[in-house]
A and B are shown apart, each in its own frame.
Chain A
Amino acid sequence: MAPKKNSAKRPQPSTPKPSAPARIVKVQSSDGHILQADVRALLLSSTLAATIKGYDDENKPLEKLEVNNVVGFTLKLVLEWCEKHKEDDPAIAQAEKDKKNIFIPSWDRHFLTKLPMGNLFDLITAAYHLDITGLINYGCKTVANSAKGKSTEEMRELFGIPEPWEQPSTSTATWDD
């Protein structure tokens, strides 16, 4: 087998394309909040991109997209992130997906680190449901960064798990599968 090379180079953003007029659609969260977003921002989500494509293929007018598994507060954060990254080349996030050491740009660092841990978890989960690779990458790395170098006690405090060796009663998760 030929030796693989370590891929240390960071992918470079592609040259920005001339911006087309914004196409705004309504997005409704699971708790009924209605927000507005540029379709280019929504295309960062593979899940929403497939839905939008479905409408476009059938020439149906797209008035409102329903996101049934994300609440309004979190959806607002997701859309804010997508709006900021709508010009990004999706290949960059895809290339970073398998890397152990990714670089978080300063805007994203500020955006993610200002969130309380619970909201950050909700945001990552929403990104996972909506399949937004870049947000998953940055979100997970931010959680990891906040846990790095911490002792068990500090991690327990960070994740809000008070008693040692006590299985949380709020969860039925086993992660066995």
Chain B
Amino acid sequence: MDFASIDVKGAEYKKAAILFCYRTTHCIDSAFSLLSKEYPDVTRKDVEAWFTELRLGEIPVPVNTGNQQEKALFSLSPKLLQEITKYLSAQDLKSISQVCKLLKQFVARIDVRIDLIHIFLKPDSIEIKTVKPGSTSLCQITQTPNGCSVNKDGFTTSQRRTFLEQLADEFERCLGNDNRKVKKLDIEVDKESDHQTEFFDKLITTFRRLDSRLDCETLHTDFCPSRTLKFLIEQLSSEHFKDLRIRSATQVIHVGPYDMSEIILLPHWKKLTAFFSFCDLTNISLLDFAHIDCVSATTSSRPTEDIASYILACAMSSSSYQLIGLPIENVEDVASRLLPFGVEKK
């Protein structure tokens, strides 16, 4: 290129400089700041007038051939990205963190994703295991004559409060950030423990202290009294909820009928994939079980019509295991209704 021929004092050069600023998508302020270095007499108003003239003259601004979406994504402020992640589930955060290094760093830094919280009530202690991307921590709270001892990742301290009060404290600390996304919450209860009711009450109280319902995808829990189970489940947001498993830890504390009327109304019930109960369930229709993958339960006697509808629904569903024990008053009637579903004996 013959640069020597360019007259830097000439009008052509000035016009080219203005055009360059316009076509490289400088804003008026930045174009003014650039041009005023070469032309001290240029005012901001001049630049504004030139840009308007260029626009009216339909001088095109070139389309950036770079990847606009990518550029825009990485130009978002951390605050906005955090705002976006507020609406995503733990699984979505996992997927987004695998998109690229920057997003991985970002998701790790905002520290909202927990892969697993496992809480295990034993007769005289409680274990809380927390698994986050890249780290696992274990907290063991043991009952002592003066309160409890807390062992966290190998370090032990003594506390004057009861081990259940300490559980509430540790669990709240574990959930900490109101924007936590929990992939799986697993609540296990040793059938020998005498503190089951109080244990579940503490968990529910902790959930209620959160500003909004916990964003959780999976809940696996042992049985607790009917209303407690309802309160526990309803503390979880149903937005990203995918899998509920309820199992019976003991036959001892749930003697007598177990009222299911409020539990089956929760949207989470539709996500139930496994249900193992030794209680005598009441206020639940057999059809309420039909969508569940694995069921083992007992209920009171049902009209023949209900039993036939349930069998038909099961035959059409993809459930892998359904075992429901119930007294049948009119066996012959049921047998005749079920005949079409059986195999003919020769």
Contacts and interface: CB of A to CB of B under 8 A. Distances in A.
Interface of A: 1, 3-7, 30-33, 68-69, 71, 98-101, 116-118, 121-122, 124-125, 128, 136-137, 140-141, 143-145, 147-152, 155-156, 158-162, 164-168, 170-171, 173-177
20 contacts: A31-B51, A32-B28, A68-B29, A100-B239, A101-B212, A118-B72, A121-B73, A121-B75, A122-B72, A124-B76, A128-B79, A144-B88, A147-B92, A150-B95, A152-B95, A152-B99, A159-B70, A166-B100, A167-B101, A170-B66
Given A144-B84, A149-B92, A166-B100, A32 B52 contact: yes
B345 interface: no
Interface of B: 25, 27-29, 48, 51-52, 55, 66-81, 83-89, 92, 95-96, 98-102, 105-106, 109, 179, 205, 208-213, 215, 235, 237, 239
Contacts of A32: 28, 48, 51-52, 55
Contacts, number: 165
A161 B95 CA distance: 13
Nearest to B93: A147
Nearest to B30: A30
A145 B29 CA distance: 36
Nearest to A166: B100
A140 B84 contact: yes
Given A4-B210, A140-B87, A155-B96, A165 B101 contact: yes
A171 B106 CA distance: 14
Nearest to A128: B80
B76 A155 contact: no
Given A101-B237, A149-B92, A31 B76 contact: no
A167 B106 CA distance: 13
Contacts of B80: 124-125, 128, 136, 140
Given A1-B209, A6-B213, A31-B28, A118 B69 contact: yes
Contacts of A173: 74-75, 102
Contact of B86 (A118, A140, A152): A140
Contacts of A170: 66-67, 70-71, 74
A98 B211 contact: yes
Contact of B25 (A6, A31, A69, A174): A31
B73 A160 contact: yes
Q: Which of B86, B105, B215 has the most CB of A within 10 A?
A: B86
A175 B69 contact: no
